[in-house]
Amino acid sequence: MRIKTIVTGVAGRMGRQVASALTQESDIELVGGVDLKSQNINIGSGATGTSLEVTTDLRALIAKTGPNVMVDFTHPACVMDNVRCALQSGVRCVVGTTGLSASDFDEIKGLCQVNKTGAVIAPNFAVGAVLLMRFAQIASKHFDTAEIIEMHHDKKVDAPSGTALKTAEFMRQSDPAAQEEIAASFESQPARGENAGGTRIHSVRLPGLVAHHEVIFGAPGQTLTIRHDSLSRESFIPGVVLAVREVMKLEEAVFGLDVLLNI
Ligand code: NAD
């Protein structure tokens, strides 16, 4: 059976690329797309591209096409409405949209339990970024002090990035007390970045960038820098395709690609 999949935010930077990639997979069938305007979009390259009809009505698209999976790359303002609509209709979710809150995560967990269905929510689908988070977690056992610099294109709406917040969460699991004390001492200086549970995060937004994360650890006489660069949105595609396949086996919400990759 092919996995019938729809993409919300399909006319966007990520949505287009994801939709195009899904048409290349023999076990996945792209059955529709949702965005703010009804239109036909070309999701392939040049003259060989496939034309996809885009609707504004997610509920109607679900009723019409009966998808197994919804992949969402939209906006923090609408992602939860899309997720509620999908999970309540028994459609599994792969969510790449960032800017979700802790209470959003709790709600998704509850919706999956009630509806006995699965969801994968990941702030970063690039395997290198997942490794960065894990390496940072290991390093934070040996360094008391670290700061994160995240750099993205100027159209990104949320800050700090979901990846930076998740990295800080991983690092916090290692030595929360030491980091919280140091980070809190800079509270009155906005230029020192945002304190995310003990790790200072600095957000840079510039045209030309895609998605870049750097974790710098410091100790007397040494620093350690761990860096990942998504140079194009291609970097996210294998992770999204994996999540579409893996979410079919889930009856719960999974937060982070690290769980699926067992990293
Ligand atoms: P984008 O602005 O290019 O695309 C978003 C699309 O969503 C647009 O076409 C917009 O019209 C559409 N949209 C907005 N509101 C909508 C609604 N109510 N219903 C349907 N469609 C709606 O943004 P992007 O660069 O593609 O990023 C989208 C999201 O994905 C952001 O939150 C970004 O941070 C995130 N992102 C995540 C990853 C990851 O690996 N998890 C990677 C890149 C981007």
Q: Cα of 74 to ligand 1 centre, how many Å?
A: 3
Q: Which residues line ligand 1 (CB under 6 A)?
A: 8-9, 11-15, 34-36, 73-75, 78, 96-99, 122-125, 156, 236
Q: Burial code of 150-179, b = ≥16 C-beta within 10 A, e = fewer?
A: bbbeeebebbbbbbbbbbbbbbbebbeeeb
Q: Report domain extents, the chain.
A: 3-121+234-261, 127-231
Q: Cα of 11 to ligand 1 centre, how many Å?
A: 9
- Give the fold, CATH level 3, of 3-121+234-261: Rossmann fold (3.40.50)
Q: Residue 161 is encoded by which pair of tokens? A: 């990035």
Which residue, by CA, sits nearest to atom 39 of ligand 1? Answer: 124
Pocket test for ligand 1, best of 75, 82, 94 (most atoms within 8 A of CB): 75
- How many C-beta neighbours within 10 Å does residue 64 have? 12
Which residue, by CA, sits nearest to atom 21 of ligand 1? Answer: 35
Summary mean pLDDT of the chain: 94
Q: Which residues neighbour 34 within 8 Å (Cβ) at sequence distance 6 or greater?
A: 6, 7, 8, 9, 10, 54, 55, 56, 57, 58, 61, 82
Which residue, by CA, sits nearest to atom 4 of ligand 1? Answer: 12
- 152 a catalytic residue: yes
Pocket test for ligand 1, best of 93, 98, 132 (most atoms within 8 A of CB): 98
Classify domain 127-231 by CATH architecture.
Answer: 2-Layer Sandwich (3.30)
pLDDT over 70 (residue 48): no
For the segment 117-133, the average pLDDT, to the nearest whole number, is: 98
R_g (Cα) of the chain, nearest Å: 19
pLDDT over 80 (residue 6): yes
* Sheet with strand 119-121: strands edge to edge: 39-42, 51-55, 28-34, 3-8, 69-72, 92-95, 119-121, 253-255
Q: Cα of 219 to ligand 1 centre, how many Å?
A: 38
Q: Given the structure tokens 């069938």, which residue do they identify? A: 29
Q: Cα of 169 to ligand 1 centre, how many Å?
A: 23
pLDDT over 80 (residue 173): no
CB 205 within 8 A of CB 154: yes
CB 239 within 8 A of CB 257: yes
Q: Rounded to the nearest 10 degrees, how much is the dihedral formed by the CA atoms of 167, 170, 173, 176?
A: 0
Q: Residue 41 is encoded by which pair of tokens? A: 């979009």
**141, 152, 153, 166: which is the annotated catalytic residue?**
152
Query: How high is the pLDDT of residue 87?
Result: 98
Measured CA angle at 172 (ends 100, 191), to 5 deg: 75
Query: How high is the pLDDT of residue 179?
Result: 67
Q: Residue 51 is encoded by which pair of tokens? A: 């034309």
Q: Given the structure tokens 């809190």, which residue do they identify? A: 184
- At 112-124, the pLDDT tens digits run 999 999 999 999 9
- How many C-beta neighbours within 10 Å does residue 35 have? 19
Which ligand 1 atom minimizes the distance to the CA of 95? 41
**4, 75, 109, 156: which is the annotated catalytic residue?**
156
For the segment 167-187, the average pLDDT, to the nearest whole number, is: 78
pLDDT over 90 (residue 174): no
Measure the CA–CA gap between 210 and 151, rounded to whole angstroms: 8
- 155 a catalytic residue: no
Which residue, by CA, sits nearest to atom 20 of ligand 1? Answer: 35
pLDDT over 90 (residue 251): yes
pLDDT over 70 (residue 178): no
Measured CA angle at 176 (ends 172, 182), to 5 deg: 110
